[in-house]
């Protein structure tokens, strides 16, 4: 994710005298559920209350109610029909999971919408709704290790979330395009899900929309069929994906198709955006990926692409898997490739390798920021070293008071997570040398690809490859509350 305001700071740092007009967020009431306080962040808050009951949250230290305990999802088969009224959908989701404990009851996460029926392995199940929990009681006990399929049929008008920093998130519609984008949560707004990046799964995403709409989603288009006035588009993402990276866009989109390295490339832009700067920026997608491959290892996925939406209430761009979602204003204002490089770097760091807990968010944002600095240097702009030195030279920078390795659940998108996170990698590079540094990055992706990684695992890998004791370096850069020593 890259926020509008933050990109603005980065543009100034890059020496371009571009002033971004304030992003005008609407004054609609905020419907975002309150962020749990750190005091509530005890795993005990989400422990099972009885044997056989899956916990209503995974106990993430920052967001303990996110996700659910007791099972692990392997595949989502989502069938969503848009309409007939604007903003309305009907859904038919089959979630195949493996029980990690004996289960007599388990939860899925779903915000709003009306659930019509739930079956487990074809047998009717009873269900209740409590807040954003869909509580399912199957007809019989699910034994540990059993694979089971939960089918949920539902309908309604998804509610957009409002975040004071990010603007609108979730299931949104603007200028004739319906789309989904949001972090750390967005999936719950449109399908029943185990909504935490530690439970990655494969996805089939089938969207039915009026014939006039173009539809794009994650991964590879498997086919489309037209029946009467509607067309059904069948997409699949074969690599495991965290729920917040699942997306689609449908409506008035212009689409440029090609192939690169034998993989499909699909670039979709809201028709309301004038042809020009935006198309030029996202056309660099494959060149940027080819550049990153040299340093991070092979591009991890089976497809390339981009989705550009035109919604001034969205204050961020997001690394949705294989198809980053860009808000047009971030591409139209002078920063032609910075944000594209940032979201594409996330395909390695964030998407292929996902955080195990949200407190490790610097593993996504610090790495994507560092890669963005590398692209800037590669294209003849400021060097990574100069970027580092400029940021380090400020003794009273707010970066020094927020530890990027544990920023707190209200500050997961704080500038420190991005900039000081990126500086942490430059400090590592200056300490271990280029060869060891890039071997660490490549090995990190190889070791954790399609799974999750944690900060202690990254530190252990860096020490193993470099042969150096790096405790003090990481302690200062990730967890200290004063300016670290210059490496
Ligand atoms: Zn990011």
Query: Looking at residues 306-318, what average pLDDT do you find?
Result: 96
Q: Ligand 1 center to residue 59 CA distance, Å?
A: 24
pLDDT, tens digit, 9 for 90 and up, residues 358-414: 999 999 999 999 999 999 999 999 999 999 999 999 999 999 999 999 999 999 999
Kindly state the DSSP code that residue 168 receives in the 8-state scheme. E
| 290 contact partners, CB below 8 Å, separation of at least 6 | none
Query: CA 260: distance to chain centroid?
Result: 24
Q: Ligand 1 center to residue 185 CA distance, Å?
A: 15
Q: Ligand 1 center to residue 47 CA distance, Å?
A: 31
pLDDT, tens digit, 9 for 90 and up, residues 333-351: 666 689 999 999 999 999 9
pLDDT, tens digit, 9 for 90 and up, residues 222-268: 999 999 999 999 999 999 999 999 999 999 999 999 999 999 999 99
Query: Does the structure show a pLDDT above 80 at 86?
Result: yes
A 10 A CB-CB count for 464 gives 11
Same fold, 2-355 and 358-479: no
- Sign of CA pseudo-dihedral 43, 46, 48, 54: negative
d(CA 18, CA 256): 29
Q: Ligand 1 center to residue 342 CA distance, Å?
A: 6
CA dihedral 60, 63, 64, 66 (to 10 degrees): -90
Query: Does the structure show a pLDDT above 60 at 40?
Result: no
Query: Average pLDDT over the chain, rounded to whole?
Result: 91
Q: Ligand 1 center to residue 341 CA distance, Å?
A: 10
Q: Ligand 1 center to residue 348 CA distance, Å?
A: 12
Query: Does the structure show a pLDDT above 80 at 9?
Result: no
Give the global pTM. Answer: 0.92
Q: Ligand 1 center to residue 181 CA distance, Å?
A: 13
pLDDT class of 46 with cuts at 50, 70, 90: low
Q: Ligand 1 center to residue 411 CA distance, Å?
A: 14
C-alpha distances in Å from residue 357, one per residue of 43, 354, 456: 13, 9, 12
Q: Ligand 1 center to residue 267 CA distance, Å?
A: 19
Residue 213 has phi, psi (to 5 degrees) of -80, 145
Helix, strand, coil percentages in the chain from 3-state DSSP, rounded to 5: 30, 30, 40
Query: Does the structure show a pLDDT above 90 at 287?
Result: yes
Q: Which CATH class is domain 2-355?
A: mainly beta
Helix (H, G, I), strand (E, B) or coil at 326: strand
What are the domain boundaries of the chain?
2-355, 358-479
The answer to whether the beta carbons of residues 309 and 249 sit under 8 Å apart is yes
The answer to whether the beta carbons of residues 151 and 191 sit under 8 Å apart is no
What is the per-residue pLDDT for 447? 98
- Judge residue 76's burial from the number of C-beta atoms within 10 Å of its C-beta, 0-12 exposed, 13-18 middle, 19 or more buried: buried
| Nearest alpha carbon to residue 268 among 237, 289, 247 | 247
Q: Ligand 1 center to residue 39 CA distance, Å?
A: 27
Which CATH architecture does the domain made up of 358-479 adopt?
Orthogonal Bundle (1.10)
A 10 A CB-CB count for 227 gives 9
To 10 degrees, what angle do helices 421-432 and 455-466 make?
20
A 10 A CB-CB count for 402 gives 16
What is the per-residue pLDDT for 431? 98
The answer to whether the beta carbons of residues 196 and 359 sit under 8 Å apart is no
């Amino acid at each position: 994710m890259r926020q509008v305001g933050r990109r603005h700071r980065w543009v100034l740092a890059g020496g371009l005298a571009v002033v971004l007009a304030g992003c005008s967020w609407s004054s609609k009431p905020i419907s975002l559920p309150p962020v749990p306080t750190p005091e509530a962040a005890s795993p005990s808050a989400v422990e099972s209350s009885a044997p056989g009951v899956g916990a209503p949250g995974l106990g993430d230290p920052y967001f303990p109610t996110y996700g659910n305990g007791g099972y692990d999802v392997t595949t989502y088969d989502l069938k969503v029909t848009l309409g007939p009224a604007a903003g309305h959908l009907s859904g038919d989701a089959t979630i195949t999971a493996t029980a990690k404990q004996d289960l007599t009851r388990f939860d899925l996460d779903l915000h709003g919408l009306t659930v019509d029926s739930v079956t487990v392995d074809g047998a009717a199940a009873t269900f209740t709704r409590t807040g954003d929990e869909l509580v399912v009681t199957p007809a019989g006990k699910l034994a540990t290790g059993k694979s089971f399929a939960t089918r949920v049929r539902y309908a309604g008008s998804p509610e957009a979330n409002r975040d004071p920093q990010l603007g609108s998130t979730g299931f949104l519609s603007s200028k004739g395009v319906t789309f989904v984008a949001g972090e750390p949560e967005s999936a719950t707004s449109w399908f029943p899900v185990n909504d935490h990046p530690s439970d990655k799964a494969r996805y089939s995403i089938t969207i039915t929309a009026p014939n006039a709409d173009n539809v794009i989603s994650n991964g590879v288009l498997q086919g489309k069929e037209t029946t009467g006035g509607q067309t059904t588009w069948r997409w699949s993402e074969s690599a495991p994906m965290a729920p917040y990276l699942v997306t689609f866009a449908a409506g008035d989109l212009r689409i440029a198709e090609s192939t690169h390295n034998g993989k499909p490339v699909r670039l979709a832009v809201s028709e309301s955006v004038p042809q020009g700067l935006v198309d030029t920026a996202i056309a660099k997608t494959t060149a940027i990926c080819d550049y990153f491959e040299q340093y991070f290892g092979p591009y991890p996925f089976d497809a390339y692409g981009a989705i550009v939406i035109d919604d001034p209430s969205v204050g961020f761009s997001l690394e949705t898997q294989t198809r980053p979602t860009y808000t047009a204003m971030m591409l139209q204002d002078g920063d032609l490739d910075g944000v594209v490089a940032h979201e594409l770097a996330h395909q390695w760091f964030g998407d292929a390798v996902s955080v195990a807990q949200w407190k490790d968010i610097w593993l996504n944002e610090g790495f994507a920021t560092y890669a963005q600095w590398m692209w800037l240097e590669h294209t003849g702009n400021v060097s990574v070293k100069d970027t580092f030195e400029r940021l380090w030279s400020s003794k009273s920078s707010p970066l020094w008071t927020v530890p990027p390795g544990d920023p707190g659940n209200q500050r997961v998108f704080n500038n420190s997570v991005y900039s000081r996170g990126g500086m942490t990698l430059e400090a590592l590079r200056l300490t271990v040398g280029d060869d060891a540094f890039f071997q660490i990055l490549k090995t990190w992706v190889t070791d954790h690809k399609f799974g999750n990684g944690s900060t202690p695992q990254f530190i252990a890998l860096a020490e193993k490859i470099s042969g150096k004791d790096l405790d003090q370096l990481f302690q200062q850069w990730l967890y200290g509350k004063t300016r670290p020593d210059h490496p």
